[in-house]
A and B are shown apart, each in its own frame.
Chain A
Amino acid sequence: NAGVTQTPKFQVLKTGQSMTLQCAQDMNHEYMSWYRQDPGMGLRLIHYSVGAGITDQGEVPNGYNVSRSTTEDFPLRLLSAAPSQTSVYFCASSLGQGLLDEQFFGPGTRLTVL
Chain B
Amino acid sequence: DQQVKQNSPSLSVQEGRISILNCDYTNSMFDYFLWYKKYPAEGPTFLISISSIKDKNEDGRFTVFLNKSAKHLSLHIVPSQPGDSAVYFCAAGVMDTGRRALTFGSGTRLQVQP
* Min distance, Cβ A27 to any Cβ of chain B, angstroms: 14
Partner of A42, one of B9, B49, B106: B106
Q: Give the size of the chain B interface in residues (CB under 8 angstroms).
A: 25
Instruction: Tell me, in angstroms, the Cα distance from A40 to B107 when the chains sit together.
Output: 8
Mark interface residues in A86-105 (1 if CB within 8 Å of B CB, else 0): 00001010001111111111
Which A residues are in CB contact (< 8 Å) with B9?
A: 40
Could you tell me if A100 and B95 are in contact, using CB atoms closer than 8 angstroms?
Answer: yes
Instruction: Tell me, in angstroms, the Cα distance from A40 to B45 when the chains sit together.
Output: 19
Could you tell me if B106 and A40 are in contact, using CB atoms closer than 8 angstroms?
Answer: yes
Within 8 A of B (CB), among A45-89: 45, 48, 50, 56, 58-59
* Min distance, Cβ A22 to any Cβ of chain B, angstroms: 15
Could you tell me if B46 and A100 are in contact, using CB atoms closer than 8 angstroms?
Answer: no
- Asked if B101 lies at the interface with its beta carbon under 8 angstroms from chain A, I say yes
The verdict on A100 contacting B104 (CB below 8 Å), with A42-B4, A42-B89 known, is no
Which B residues are in CB contact (< 8 Å) with A107?
A: 41-43
Mark interface residues in A20-33 (1 if CB within 8 Å of B CB, else 0): 00000000000000
Which A residues are in CB contact (< 8 Å) with B49?
A: 100, 102
Mark interface residues in B80-113 (1 if CB within 8 Å of A CB, else 0): 0000000001010101001111111111000000
- Asked if B62 lies at the interface with its beta carbon under 8 angstroms from chain A, I say no
The number of chain A residues touching the other chain, given as a range, is 20 to 34
* Min distance, Cβ A43 to any Cβ of chain B, angstroms: 5
Could you tell me if A108 and B43 are in contact, using CB atoms closer than 8 angstroms?
Answer: yes
Within 8 A of A (CB), among B24-62: 32, 34, 41-46, 49
Could you tell me if B46 and A42 are in contact, using CB atoms closer than 8 angstroms?
Answer: no
The verdict on A42 contacting B105 (CB below 8 Å), with A97-B99, A100-B32 known, is yes
Could you tell me if B100 and A56 are in contact, using CB atoms closer than 8 angstroms?
Answer: yes
Given contacts A90-B43, A97-B98, A99-B100, 12 further A-B contacts (CB under 8 A): A42-B4, A42-B106, A42-B107, A59-B101, A98-B99, A99-B93, A100-B32, A100-B34, A102-B34, A103-B46, A108-B41, A108-B42
- Measured CB to CB, the residues of A under 8 A from B are 4, 40-45, 48, 50, 56, 58-59, 90, 92, 96-108
